[in-house]
Amino acid sequence: MDMMPSDSAEVTVALGEDYGDLRDAVRRICEDYPTAYWRKLEETSSYPSEFVDALTEGGFLGALIPEEYGGSGLPLRAAAVILEEINASGCTASPAHAQMYIMGTLLRHGSEEQKRRYLPKIASGELRLQAFGVTEPTTGSDTTQLKTRAEKKGNDKYVVNGQKVWTSRALYSDLMLLLARTTPASECKKRTDGLSVFLVDLREAKGNGCEIKPIDALINHNTTEVFFDNMEVPAENLIGEEGQGFRYILDGMNAERILVAQECIGDGRWLLRKGVDYANDRTVFGRAIGQNQGVQFPLARAYASLEAAEMMARRAAALFQANQPCGADANMAKLLASEATWQAAEAALMVHGGFGFAKEYDVERKWREARLYQTAPISSNMILAFLSTKVLGLPRSY
């Protein structure tokens, strides 16, 4: 079993700086996109192209891309701060966040030619890499059982057939990272073998074996289902070695967990601030409702939980940056942050009373967005299962 943190070899890491200047720069961009902008997008189920363009032009979405490929070459903690500050400003980071962690697969496992061809254009905004095709309708989170097939034809191409679901932003992305089975599971020694990663150029694929359909959902997440019918992908777009895709995807999940955890915390801080401000301003029976402990305590509890979650997220980011094992920390950060943010969302909604349900206050929008974190990109129960078996050494229940 993996050793529990208390038993593991001592590792000393700095928790990372807070990047005050970076936060200020993000806030300045967010000021141009007030909450009314996001409400309008929900009414039309639209994508925030202007906002994403502004982030790209500011260099924020290329934060993790090394300078030699046109990015800023910042550490993971800096990228986490960017996403946190976006949400803490009342905006929504999810339309752009995937680029930060999807890019890591290309950076760590792509060929030098692939990196030089794509990364500078991703950093500049000429190309958007926002879509991640992994989940399928019949397999869900059991990635090893996915059914989308990529069969090699000759030496120069693969032909893809299958379906993906909850593939967010596919309609607004130029490129998609796709996980598909290249060797039948029955021919593999391990269930994690035989999966490969491809970089799909959606500009060419749409209408040529690739069909994308929007999914109406609880939040405006621009999510879709994607159908592949004999879609051709150049063999040169295979990332790394054929059959090693599961390992490549897994390699990027720790970064994903850490970034989403900090994004979560940003939402929680926005909600907490809204709740506290309203509790101070709202007067009932001749006094501010914030004087009541029934109002105070849920807000105080949410504050404590958010602070604790951030410390775990900072530790996970520090371990990631130091190339130390961080799987348990990254998953715990995501778990604690999603729960803390939900506490803040519930407290803010409760404090606002009936006005919490009014769209003009934006609490109900953030409340809906906050609920997603306990389900995606990994559910709380799956994290608990991971901690139970991989960290505590308990027997697998499946």
Q: Domain check: are 322 and 362 in the same one?
A: yes
- The confidence score (pLDDT) of residue 15 equals 76
Cis link prior to 377 (omega < 30° from 0)? yes
- The confidence score (pLDDT) of residue 7 equals 43
Helix (H, G, I), strand (E, B) or coil at 254: helix
**C-alpha to C-alpha distance for 349 and 271, rounded to whole angstroms:** 9
Q: b/e map of 114-151 (b: 16 or more CB within 10 Å)?
A: bbeebbbbbbebebbbbbbbbbbeeeeeebeebebbbe
- The confidence score (pLDDT) of residue 143 equals 83
Helix (H, G, I), strand (E, B) or coil at 211: strand
Q: Which of 204, 228, 244 is the last residue of a domain?
A: 244
Report if residue 192 sits inside a domain. Answer: yes
Q: Which residues contact 248 (CB under 8 A, 6 or more apart)?
A: 105, 108, 109, 197, 239, 240
Q: Domain check: are 199 and 293 in the same one?
A: no
- The confidence score (pLDDT) of residue 6 equals 44
- The confidence score (pLDDT) of residue 3 equals 40
CATH number of the domain that residue 344 is part of: 1.20.140.10
Q: Domain check: are 59 and 125 in the same one?
A: yes
Which runs of consecutive H residues, i.e. helices, occur in 90-184? 94-109, 112-124
- The confidence score (pLDDT) of residue 144 equals 84
**C-alpha to C-alpha distance for 228 and 205, rounded to whole angstroms:** 9
- The confidence score (pLDDT) of residue 355 equals 97
Joined tokens for residue 212? 């994308």
Q: Domain check: are 384 and 368 in the same one?
A: yes
Report if residue 2 sits inside a domain. Answer: no
Q: Domain check: are 47 and 159 in the same one?
A: no
Report if residue 1 sits inside a domain. Answer: no
Q: Domain check: are 237 and 252 in the same one?
A: no
Q: Look up the domain containing 25 and give its range.
A: 20-129
Q: Domain check: are 226 and 355 in the same one?
A: no
CATH number of the domain that residue 217 is part of: 2.40.110.10
Joined tokens for residue 38? 């996001």
Q: Which of 195, 213, 244 is the last residue of a domain?
A: 244
Q: Domain check: are 171 and 97 in the same one?
A: no
Q: Domain check: are 143 and 223 in the same one?
A: yes
pLDDT in tens, 270-285: 999 999 999 999 999 9
SS3 content of the chain, % helix, strand, coil (to 5): 55, 15, 30
Q: Cβ-count burial of 36 within 10 angstroms (0-12 exposed, 13-18 middle, 19+ buried)?
A: exposed
Low-confidence residues in the chain, pLDDT < 50: 1-9
Report if residue 371 sits inside a domain. Answer: yes
**C-alpha to C-alpha distance for 176 and 237, rounded to whole angstroms:** 11
Q: Which of 192, 220, 244 is the last residue of a domain?
A: 244
Q: What are phi and psi of 25, to 5 degrees?
A: -65, -40
The DSSP bridge pattern shows strands 238-239 and 224-234 to be unpaired
pTM: predicted TM-score of the whole model, two decimal places = 0.92
pLDDT in tens, 63-102: 999 999 999 999 999 999 999 999 999 999 999 888 888 8
